[in-house]
Amino acid sequence: MMSEFRLPETAAFDAVVDDLVQRGWSVCPGLLPAPLAQALEQRCRWLWQSDALTPAAIGRGSDEQVISEIRGDHTRWLEQCPPHPAQQAYLQLADSLREALNRSLFLGLESFETHYALYPPGSGYRTHLDRFRDSPLRTVTLVSYLNSGWSPELGGQLRLHLPEQTLDVQPLSGTMVVFMSDRILHEVLPAQAERASLTGWFRRRPDNPLQW
Ligand code: OGA
Ligand code: MN
């Protein structure tokens, strides 16, 4: 079925691939087409207002706990949301990016998982890496911002702690950020307004799929 949403040409992912090769991260303003970003933003805010997002936990399995001073967002996995053409289109976009990364970087990325995230005013996410200690499969992080008209005074920047610099990214609608999940330390600075995004991870196939 043809989507009503236009997606970026495959060539648009070349720069992302180059950035990842060179330095392990890429910031791409406007890579998420505006109509798609707006539809996803509406979806995210509607879920938030309908009380359909739940406080996110840190850790995994028996380690899992909600500590809102460390991580304050409310999330819902896309696959647990009512279907919507914008979400289909977004997954298609992510899949094209996954293929581009596999073609050039041989990462063996085989799946993508993503959730809506809404940070209420005052909340953030302290400095962390995205790869779980007990799950080495999350390989590349993809964050897409869904905040039309964000201004820097509101805070809420994604802060990347890089070897040579600290880089703050505004969570402005249409910006996509891609980075190696096990390498790039990052945090979300507290915001003064509701901050919406889609955060996701490309997972690679296990070294031994049989889990011996
Ligand atoms: C995360 C995360 C960054 C952001 O959910 O792990 O770091 O800018 N999100 O929302
Ligand atoms: Mn993170």
CA of 180, nearest ligand number: 2
- pTM of the model as a whole: 0.94
Closest approach atom of ligand 1 to CA 130: 6
Positive or negative, the Cα torsion across 75, 39, 174, 49? negative
Q: Write out pLDDT tens, residues 103-159.
A: 999 889 999 999 999 999 999 999 999 986 656 899 999 999 999 989 999 999 999
> Nearest ligand to the C-alpha of residue 158?
1
pLDDT at residue number 57: 79
Helix (H, G, I), strand (E, B) or coil at 77: strand
**Phi (first) and psi of residue 49, to 5 degrees:** -70, -25
List ligand 1's pocket residues with C-beta within 6 A: 117, 125, 130, 143, 158, 186, 188, 197, 199
Give pLDDT, residue 132.
67
Domain boundaries, the chain: 39-56+72-204
Ligand 1 centroid – CA 1 distance (Å): 32
* pLDDT of 185 over the 70 cut: yes
Do residues 116 and 31 lie in contact, with contact meaning Cβ atoms separated by under 8 Å? no
> What CATH code would you report for 39-56+72-204?
2.60.120.620
211 pLDDT tier (thresholds 50, 70, 90):
low
Positions of E strands within 70-162? 74-77, 109-119, 125-128, 138-145, 158-161
Closest atom, ligand 1, to C-alpha of 75 = 5
